[in-house]
Amino acid sequence: MAAEEVVQIRLEGRCYPVSKKKLLEQSDYFRALYRSGMREARGAEAGGPEVQQLRGLSAPGLRLVLDFIDGGGAREGGLLGAAPGDEDADEAGLLSGLVEAASFLQVTALLRLLLSQVRLGNCLELHRLAQVHGLPDLQEACLHFMGAHFHQVLRQPHFPLLATGDPGLQQRLREARMTGTPVLVALGDFLGGPLAPHPYQGEPPSMLRYDETTERWFPLASNLPPDLVNVRGYGAAVLDNYLFIVGGYRISSQEISAAHSYNPSTNEWLQVASMNQKRSNFKLVAVNSKLYAIGGQAVSNVECYSPEQDSWNFVAPLPNPLAEFSACECKGRIYVIGGYTTRERNMHILQYCPSSDVWMRFETCDVHIRKQQMVSVEETIYIVGGCLHELGSNRRSSQSEDMLTVQSYNVVTRQWLYLKENTSKSGLNLTCALHNDGIYIMSRDVTLSTSLEHRVFLKYNIFSDSWEAFRRFPAFGHNLLVSSLYLPNKAET
């Protein structure tokens, strides 16, 4: 009895006995109360109360907290997983009761334990509670979790409600999403062989990451989903640091509409909603938090994917179906350049405005281009590779031969600049990505027209207008895609 003094805590007419020693160990509230010298600090024999009255807390929440305290703070596994069955309805209530009781009584160990209890089902609610109770660590843990599962969080049924109550939430999530280290990632059907990364010479991976300090490629511990293997002509784009691979055709020449997204924060592929239209050799462009799948083989329609709804909807179609064209986002609009219509060369730059859902002819070019790649930095579009043909010039000599060129087009001044060429490298079938200060390009040498393809990996530095070559190409392979993603910092994983 004397060894273990028990305190009766009363809430809503019910009493809960708790060991005073444990209470003092775990709860800053009770520690401060007994030090304060105030009425409740005295024992019953010295004129103090016989029970410690609490008000306003939820009884189930308090019970969980007192259980935790009684267990000496040691508890393994889920705090909230105790009651199976009625998950949603009661869990939210229980959670809020628990966080409140733990905050009110300042049970630091329990609040710390909550950091590891963040789940998809409770992250939004926990984040809100952390804000209300001023728990920066928990808020940080929730933000980190929600950033890592951004699109899934956007799809939570009560997200819209919370987002209206907290207008800055989406922005903070987006910031939490865009953390980590920007890393070049290459995917493709890599072949094994002497040039493959060492540990994978026998069994080639489908995803690699580039380490810039050692200039080496390392396998990512994730592979393409099986149904993406051997798919060609797909559309790829990065939206909210998810790499989307959409549509394309299988070697059996079937077109597909399936869509997958790779989440670098969790190193996982997820299948998302399929497009309404099967399409291949089209362009996938991310604009204003949405994806646009533009055209395709003999297809002029355009579909828009919104991650909040996980669904595709048709928007205004291209004026004509286009082949061998390219597109990119620039200043919140989509620009389509080059390629062929069903009848002739496409000499127009088309511009799509997402807010008005309208395509318009932005400008007419003097030079025809096809099969190029496009990226943009602020108001400048970089056009990498492709086949150029100057209209009116009757010589189809060296100019139109396969070489790697970089041009720029400024959407404000409408000025074209022919920036750089490299006659020994191919400008066709290349893949490139904007990364740090340049455009990283994977292509091949054109000097040897033998069957032995010579892969090259180089960078066009947009600030110094110069080429930089890298020694190591990831591996021989087909169907390569290079992309720049934020990977979690090592310390966080």
CA separation for the pair 68, 173 (Å, rounded): 31
Q: Strand pairing partners for 381? A: 376, 409
Interaction of residue 52 with another protein, rule CB under 8 A: yes
Site string for another protein, 153-192 (x = CB under 8 A): ----xx--xx------------------------------
Question: Judged by CB under 8 A, which of 20, 60, 73, 92 binds another protein?
Answer: 92
Q: Which is nearer to another protein, 106 or 341 (CB)?
A: 106
CA separation for the pair 36, 31 (Å, rounded): 9
Q: Which is nearer to another protein, 163 or 481 (CB)?
A: 163
CA separation for the pair 76, 437 (Å, rounded): 47
Rounded least distance, CB 40 to another protein, Å: 5
Q: 142 phi and psi, to 5 degrees?
A: -65, -45
Closest CA to 376 of 412, 348, 322, 400: 412
Which pair of structure tokens corresponds to residue 337? Answer: 């350049």
- Choose the stretch contacting another protein; rule: CB under 8 A; options: 24-32, 141-149, 342-350, 416-424: 24-32
Q: Which is nearer to another protein, 89 or 452 (CB)?
A: 89
- Choose the stretch contacting another protein; rule: CB under 8 A; options: 4-12, 232-240, 268-276, 339-347: 4-12
Interaction of residue 120 with another protein, rule CB under 8 A: no
CA separation for the pair 493, 265 (Å, rounded): 9
CA separation for the pair 111, 26 (Å, rounded): 11
- Interacting residues with another protein between 452 and 481 (CB under 8 A): none
**What string of DSSP letters covers 89-109?**
HHHHHHHHHHHHHHHHTTBHH
Query: Going by DSSP bridges, is the β-strand pair 52-54/6-11 parallel, antiparallel, or unpaired?
Result: parallel
Interaction of residue 10 with another protein, rule CB under 8 A: yes
Question: Judged by CB under 8 A, which of 1, 56, 194, 398 binds another protein?
Answer: 56
Spatial strand order in the sheet of 431-435 = 431-435, 438-444, 455-461, 466-470
Question: Judged by CB under 8 A, which of 5, 6, 17, 35 binds another protein?
Answer: 35
- Interacting residues with another protein between 72 and 91 (CB under 8 A): 88-89
Interaction of residue 28 with another protein, rule CB under 8 A: yes
Interaction of residue 118 with another protein, rule CB under 8 A: no
CA separation for the pair 445, 426 (Å, rounded): 6
**What string of DSSP letters covers 291-327?**
EEEEEETTEEEEEEEETTTTEEEEEPPPSS--BS-EE
- Beta carbons within 8 Å of 1's beta carbon, 6+ residues apart: none
Rounded least distance, CB 21 to another protein, Å: 19
- Choose the stretch contacting another protein; rule: CB under 8 A; options: 41-49, 193-201, 278-286, 340-348: 41-49
Give me the residue label for tokens 């799809």.
155
Q: Which is nearer to another protein, 91 or 240 (CB)?
A: 91
Q: Which is nearer to another protein, 135 or 374 (CB)?
A: 135
Question: Judged by CB under 8 A, which of 18, 126, 135, 291 binds another protein?
Answer: 135
Question: Judged by CB under 8 A, which of 5, 6, 12, 271 binds another protein?
Answer: 12
Query: Going by DSSP bridges, is the β-strand pair 387-390/367-370 parallel, antiparallel, or unpaired?
Result: antiparallel
CA separation for the pair 370, 347 (Å, rounded): 10
Rounded least distance, CB 358 to another protein, Å: 36
| Helix intervals (H) in 76-204 | 88-104, 108-114, 123-133, 136-148, 150-154, 159-165, 169-177
Interaction of residue 112 with another protein, rule CB under 8 A: no
Which pair of structure tokens corresponds to residue 174? Answer: 């987006």
Q: Which is nearer to another protein, 28 or 366 (CB)?
A: 28
Q: Which is nearer to another protein, 115 or 347 (CB)?
A: 115
- Beta carbons within 8 Å of 394's beta carbon, 6+ residues apart: none
- Choose the stretch contacting another protein; rule: CB under 8 A; options: 10-18, 234-242, 403-411, 437-445: 10-18
Rounded least distance, CB 93 to another protein, Å: 4
What is the size of the binding site for another protein (CB under 8 A)? Answer: 49
Q: Which is nearer to another protein, 100 or 255 (CB)?
A: 100
Interaction of residue 47 with another protein, rule CB under 8 A: yes
Closest CA to 102 of 53, 41, 58, 39: 58
Q: Which is nearer to another protein, 1 or 89 (CB)?
A: 89
Rounded least distance, CB 125 to another protein, Å: 7
Phi and psi based region of residue 350 (left: phi greater than 0; alpha: psi -120 to 50; beta: remaining) = beta
Rounded least distance, CB 153 to another protein, Å: 14
Interface residue list for another protein (CB under 8 A): 10-13, 28-29, 32-33, 35-41, 44, 47, 49-58, 88-89, 92-93, 95-97, 100, 103-104, 106, 125, 128, 132-136, 157-158, 161-162
